[in-house]
Structure 1
């Protein structure tokens, strides 16, 4: 395992055939703010986050993950990580350079072991953000991203070996074995998780709300708006966070959450959680049962962006 230079999750970028419909969902029902737009592309911020944007939407013929972006502390760390990856034979999409996305900065992109485009950046300007007030049911920040993997053990090993991610917990099933690895890059229980699936794809993107009341208000607002709920509301055991999963207009699963656990990294020991036990999936017992039909919704469509870098 390499030493850890990555500090945090920045944003997840999605390409979709119907940009207007997707943008309307995320700025309307979901509660993100449109910060920057250009022809065929829009950048959406979380009101409580200093990140320039937490979701980027781009019009494209095919639905795909464009990229997942992480931050490091300095430009020197960008160069160090790029050098390490190149020396390990990992394909760089582009070398470290000045970025022309909102906030600027300095960064590079590469393909992970399954072909997802990953961006690493530093020196990105922060945006003017605000404290989310009591009762406001809008996202504070992007909490975590979960990806489906046809090779979850290999994908876990890639992120641990090359990027310094650390295992927090594992979900397992007595018949199916390890089903999800929760990986952290800071004190948050997970910023990335890897789920066993039939093909690489987005499993879900999760957004943190201010607290329990705001999380429930947001969940209720989406239900009243007729947004399709997949699973929830409830509280997981691994990570201890709440969950309400919904589908966006293109069938991507998105989650409202709050109270994700922060771990004592010096004393933390990863646990193996058997999610065939109902209290592991949902401590409260308030969510609809996790079953094959719920799980299938999060398999998503096979990602058509593997080993194909987004044009912007």
Structure 2
């Protein structure tokens, strides 16, 4: 039984906190809703989530945690009990959360040592419908994680958190390189990419529509933000993509029109990543190459099996 409902937020720790905060609350288009001595909570204008990105000032860059939602406190408790029985390492027992919006949740390590939080009953943030040509994120779309053994990580998320496989990217020489995983009808809320080490691959943000996605892409280019790949349209998930680097070298994406699946009838596909129309149906993006791939490997994550201090 699936107890996870959706992706809530992705939390990052960075040494140059001010520069990172200026980027996300500035050109990237998020709204700072709270800050407190080296921690900033940033919301997306169209999202009911209290925040979609949390930034924390730290000596070392790391992924602090990934947060998923659950439908109720009893589902949070049931998931904690399930993980405990499976001897998953629990970081904090279910209880009241003191982050914006409150709620009830707990934290644990996944197979690769990432901190994961699951919460319910978080207060809904007052949000709004974005207008035509507003090129700021509506909501958080998905997160992609690098893992040395993508099959083991996929199995862990299927077994313990009820994720389902939507599609896989494979290459004739390299074998399988990415699993797209869902926790609701959205094609993927998370994907697992094959990388040399555990790290963040990219964080993706949904724009209002194609026009807004292109306006946003252009706005970032005019602001001098480095685009590493795009604009284009993937085959798996059928979503658009423009990938940029934030000031600390994390890959962040503007996307729109991610596919919604009929979960009862969907069967996963294996797409050949070496075919150009698989990476980009439109043919408008710069070709995928080893240099682009290396950018998405990111730095070795210093937060593996180390719970964030807050």
Q: Could you state the TM-score of these two structures normalised by the residue count of structure 1?
A: 0.99
Aligned residues: 310
What's the counterpart of residue 56 of structure 2? 58
- Determine the C-alpha separation between the residues in 1 that align with 2:294 and 2:130: 34
Matched, 1:306 2:304: yes
Deviation for aligned residue 1:151: 1.3
- Determine the C-alpha separation between the residues in 2 that align with 1:114 and 1:189: 23
Give the CA RMSD over aligned residues.
Answer: 0.3
Matched, 1:31 2:46: no
Q: Secondary structure at the match of 1:20?
A: helix
Matched, 1:144 2:135: no
Deviation for aligned residue 1:256: 0.1
- Determine the C-alpha separation between the residues in 1 that align with 2:111 and 2:6: 20
Structure 1 moving runs of 4+ over 2 Å? none
What's the counterpart of residue 250 of structure 2? 252
- 1:178-217 correspondence runs (5 A): 178-217=176-215
5+ residue gaps, structure 1: none
- Determine the C-alpha separation between the residues in 1 that align with 2:25 and 2:120: 27
What's the counterpart of residue 237 of structure 1? 235
What's the counterpart of residue 121 of structure 1? 119
Which whole-Å deviations, capped at 9, do the CAs of 1:25-81 have from their partners, x for residues lacking one? 001110000000000100000000000000000000000000000000000000000
- Determine the C-alpha separation between the residues in 1 that align with 2:97 and 2:115: 15
- Determine the C-alpha separation between the residues in 2 that align with 1:222 and 1:147: 24
- 1:66-145 correspondence runs (5 A): 66-145=64-143
What's the counterpart of residue 6 of structure 1? 4
- Determine the C-alpha separation between the residues in 1 that align with 2:193 and 2:237: 15
Deviation for aligned residue 1:244: 0.1
Q: Secondary structure at the match of 1:280?
A: helix
Deviation for aligned residue 1:287: 0.1
- Determine the C-alpha separation between the residues in 2 that align with 1:110 and 1:5: 15
- Determine the C-alpha separation between the residues in 2 that align with 1:194 and 1:106: 27
Deviation for aligned residue 1:174: 0.4
5+ residue gaps, structure 2: none
- Determine the C-alpha separation between the residues in 2 that align with 1:121 and 1:26: 24
- Determine the C-alpha separation between the residues in 2 that align with 1:114 and 1:186: 23
Matched, 1:170 2:168: yes
Q: Secondary structure at the match of 1:49?
A: coil
Matched, 1:222 2:220: yes
- Determine the C-alpha separation between the residues in 1 that align with 2:158 and 2:10: 20
Q: Secondary structure at the match of 2:297?
A: coil
- Determine the C-alpha separation between the residues in 1 that align with 2:38 and 2:22: 14
